[in-house]
Amino acid sequence: MSEPIFKYGEDHLKASLALDITKGTVKGVLSAAGRQQVRNGARLVEAIVASGTVVYGINTGFGPLCTTLINKEDTRSLQENILKSHAVGVGGPISKALSRLMLVLKVHALAKGFSGIREETIDRIIWHIEADVIPVVPEQGSVGASGDLAPLAHLFLPLIGFGYVHYKDTIQPAAEVLRELKVSPLQLGAKEGLALINGTQFIAAHAVMGVARFYKILMQADLNAVLMLEGLSASSKPFYPELHALRPFKGNRFVASVIYNLLNGSAIVASHANCSRVQDPYSLRCVPQVHGASRTAWLHLKELVETEINSVTDNPLLIDESLTISGGNFHGQPLAMALDYACLAAAEIGNIADRRVYLSLEGDTPGVPKLLLKSVGLNSGFMMLQYTTAALVSENKSLCFPASADSIPTSLGQEDHVSMGSISGRKLLQVLGNIERIQSIELICAAQALDFHAPLKPTRIIEKVHERMRTKVPHIETDQVMTGYIEEALDLVRSGALIDAAKEVAAKEAIPYVTDLATLFDSF
């Protein structure tokens, strides 16, 4: 069976496909049509240099030096100097996966042929991806306008023999790795340095990664909620379709239908159908409204991300022989604002989960003991787990301040409004990491609460999820060190193993898990 192929600059790139190329499960190639596009763009640059026509970044300085003319002989040095001078990032390196994803996204944008890049330069970037020689990119230094200048400068320093790369599980000087592999540094042509460092690929890579992780978190959030609803003997009525038809937000309806299907037929639900409790606390009753709103935010981010990663975001852009435009496609605002919105939406998933953890410890559910242990006093039970979720939720709240609300002028005032989108993207991934840990703790508490309802059983899907959880985290009778169990549960959350288990049972036994709204929200 042939390897799946993606044609840079020609095919439409989805967020999930970008990750597949990054992981190596899909091969990205520069097709014949893509190569022709690139050659056409490169010829436009050659013609501008030969004619002496003044075009920003080709024969002028950069930023506030845009009126400084550069002679023909120095245009190549100009492009190399811009990589060196702009590589001023600080902080720890972003993950190797993010750096690789940045390369993938940049190749796709450059291959559209509007940037003036040469074939050999794109071929070298693809070589870095395929040879697993991945540039080291510091996490801080971009203000998200004029593109992600500093991160992209670091990303492409290895093309000219500078900077550092991830190679053979270590970080090494790029020059040494290139010598070892007998690969000569490139000499950049006119416009190429500027084309490489202009663009939003740092922001976009964080956004793509965020879309993937947020998606999994949303699916896990619904499963966690059902486990907790069962464990705390909550009512199933707040999830009836008749209710949500009266306020038909798509996200709310989707979540309500998922939870309704996961509760429908539960022996535990049936056992308290006629209890005296009139209403459950909001963190149980309002799951569709809260999770649903976050799902809507996720969909909004996904749609914007997929527009961005199929766009050309450097500057200037070469439209044809008679039209070169120095514009603002590099400005990160479209993603910066959406990432801040997603950050808030994601944080709320952790916020409501913490409230459910707290409820599980109160001892107000018949048969479920206070602090989730039968014998407390000598034992503190699960009390401290909620301290951790509270700490993570509080940290997320501090991370929800919108980075895009700020703008600090740079480039001596030439770049007088910037997006700070790189910070928005980094914050989103931090928040998502905290939520994954909150969800792992909620899983531990929900599974413990559910145990106390035996021999009554939940629906088959939830029973399977609970069984899978119990292969990693046992029912707990006395106080013990919980760190290892949190890590085990965290692995289940990050891997999506419980989501896969739920889908497997649903498919095998023809049990409704999601409605036709899945085509809207489960299309990642």
The per-residue pLDDT string of the chain (524 residues; one tens digit each, 9 = 90 and over) reads 578 999 999 999 999 999 999 999 999 999 999 999 999 999 998 888 877 777 766 766 566 555 666 666 667 788 899 999 999 999 999 999 999 999 999 999 999 999 999 999 999 999 999 999 999 999 999 999 888 999 999 999 999 999 999 999 999 999 999 999 999 999 999 889 999 999 999 999 999 999 999 999 999 999 999 999 999 999 999 999 999 999 999 899 999 999 999 999 999 999 988 776 769 999 999 999 999 999 999 999 999 999 999 999 998 899 998 898 989 999 999 999 999 999 999 999 999 999 999 999 999 999 999 999 999 999 999 999 999 999 999 999 999 999 999 999 888 777 889 999 999 999 999 999 999 999 999 999 999 999 999 999 999 999 999 999 999 999 999 999 999 999 999 999 999 999 999 999 988 888 777 644 444 444 43
CB contact set of 318 (below 8 Å; sequence gap of 6+): 41, 44, 45, 114, 115, 116, 324
Asked whether residue 143 is assigned to any structural domain, the reply reads: yes
Spatial separation of the C-alpha atoms in residues 439 and 437, rounded to whole Å: 5
DSSP codes of every residue in 74-135: GHHHHHHHHHHHH---EEEEPPHHHHHHHHHHHHHHHTTS-S---HHHHHHHHHHHHHT-EE
> What is the per-residue pLDDT for 415?
83
Spatial separation of the C-alpha atoms in residues 485 and 43, rounded to whole Å: 60
> What is the per-residue pLDDT for 200?
97
> What is the per-residue pLDDT for 339?
98
Check whether residue 157 and residue 220 sit in a common domain. Answer: no
Asked whether residue 236 is assigned to any structural domain, the reply reads: yes
Asked whether residue 322 is assigned to any structural domain, the reply reads: no
Nearest CA-CA partner of 203 in 523, 449, 424: 424
Asked whether residue 144 is assigned to any structural domain, the reply reads: yes
Spatial separation of the C-alpha atoms in residues 431 and 242, rounded to whole Å: 34
> What is the per-residue pLDDT for 453?
97
Asked whether residue 321 is assigned to any structural domain, the reply reads: no
Q: Catalogue the active-site residues.
A: 56
| Residue 27 host element (H or E) | strand 27-29
CB contact set of 158 (below 8 Å; sequence gap of 6+): 128, 133, 135, 164, 165, 174, 177, 178
Check whether residue 332 and residue 280 sit in a common domain. Answer: yes
> What is the per-residue pLDDT for 67?
60
Check whether residue 345 and residue 395 sit in a common domain. Answer: yes
Check whether residue 228 and residue 296 sit in a common domain. Answer: yes
Nearest CA-CA partner of 38 in 205, 193, 198, 192: 192
CATH number of residue 254's parent domain: 1.20.200.10
Query: How far does the chain reach from its first CA to its final CA, in angstroms?
Result: 24
Check if the beta carbon of residue 388 is closer than 8 Å to that of residue 441: yes
Asked whether residue 319 is assigned to any structural domain, the reply reads: no
Per the structure, the count of domains in the chain is 2
Q: What angle do CA 430, 432, 434 make, to 5 degrees?
A: 70
Check whether residue 135 and residue 36 sit in a common domain. Answer: yes
Check whether residue 173 and residue 214 sit in a common domain. Answer: no
CATH number of residue 167's parent domain: 1.10.275.10
Spatial separation of the C-alpha atoms in residues 207 and 333, rounded to whole Å: 13
Spatial separation of the C-alpha atoms in residues 115 and 49, rounded to whole Å: 14
For the chain, helix (H) and strand (E) counts, in that order, are 21, 9
Domain enclosing residue 487, as ranges: 207-313+327-406+417-521
> What is the per-residue pLDDT for 62?
60
Spatial separation of the C-alpha atoms in residues 187 and 59, rounded to whole Å: 17
Check whether residue 183 and residue 214 sit in a common domain. Answer: no
3 state DSSP class of 69: strand
Q: What angle do CA 497, 502, 505 make, to 5 degrees?
A: 125
Check whether residue 191 and residue 94 sit in a common domain. Answer: yes
Among residues 164, 199, 234, the one where a domain terminates is 199
Check whether residue 338 and residue 455 sit in a common domain. Answer: yes
> What is the per-residue pLDDT for 518?
42
Asked whether residue 412 is assigned to any structural domain, the reply reads: no
Asked whether residue 306 is assigned to any structural domain, the reply reads: yes
Spatial separation of the C-alpha atoms in residues 120 and 115, rounded to whole Å: 14
Tell me, rounded to whole angstroms, the distance of Cα 455 from its chain centroid: 41
3 state DSSP class of 288: helix
